[in-house]
Structures are given as structure tokens and as C-alpha cells.
Structure 1
Amino acid sequence: MKKFIKKNKKKIKKAMKLGKDIINVVGNAIRIFTFFS
């Protein structure tokens, strides 16, 4: 059980990091879009 949680902790951290990256990219795209329009 502990091993299972340990394995998934890395996955959860990766998913959270990926989510943050996507939010940053979308935020930058919106900023650039509003800047040019």
C-alpha cells in the first residue's frame, strides 16, 4: 500500500506541474492575444 502511494505521488506531482505549465501557456497566449488586438 505504501509503495502504491509513493508511486502515485510522483504521478500526481507530474500532473500538477503539467497543469501549471498549461495554465501558464494559456495565460501567456491570452495576454499576447489581447496585446495585439
Structure 2
Amino acid sequence: MTNAQIILLIDNARMAVDDFNLKKWRSIMCQVTSVSM
């Protein structure tokens, strides 16, 4: 594997983690707002 391929893999993994965290955070926020109302 070349360095470029490794960097691309890391970048894709980071984006996937960011996406997952964003969805998790959104669902938590939705639960919090529905509870507080």
C-alpha cells in the first residue's frame, strides 16, 4: 500500500466516525428536547 492509499483510508474512517458521532449526538439531543418539553 502506498502512503496516499493509507491517508485515504484514514480520511474515510475519520469521516465515518464523524458521521456516526453526529447521528448519535443528534439522537441524544432529540431525546433531551422531547423530555424537557
TM-score for the superposition, normalised by structure 2? 0.81
Structure 1 residue ranges (4+ consecutive) displaced by more than 6 angstroms after TM superposition? none
| Alignment partner, residue 22 of structure 2 | 22
| Alignment partner, residue 13 of structure 2 | 13
Q: Percent identity?
A: 0
- Alpha-carbon RMSD across the aligned residues, in angstroms, is 1.0
Give the length in aligned residue pairs. 36
Q: Flag structure 2 segments of 5+ consecutive residues without an equivalent.
A: none
Partner of 2:20, secondary structure, is: helix
| Alignment partner, residue 33 of structure 1 | 33
Q: Flag structure 1 segments of 5+ consecutive residues without an equivalent.
A: none
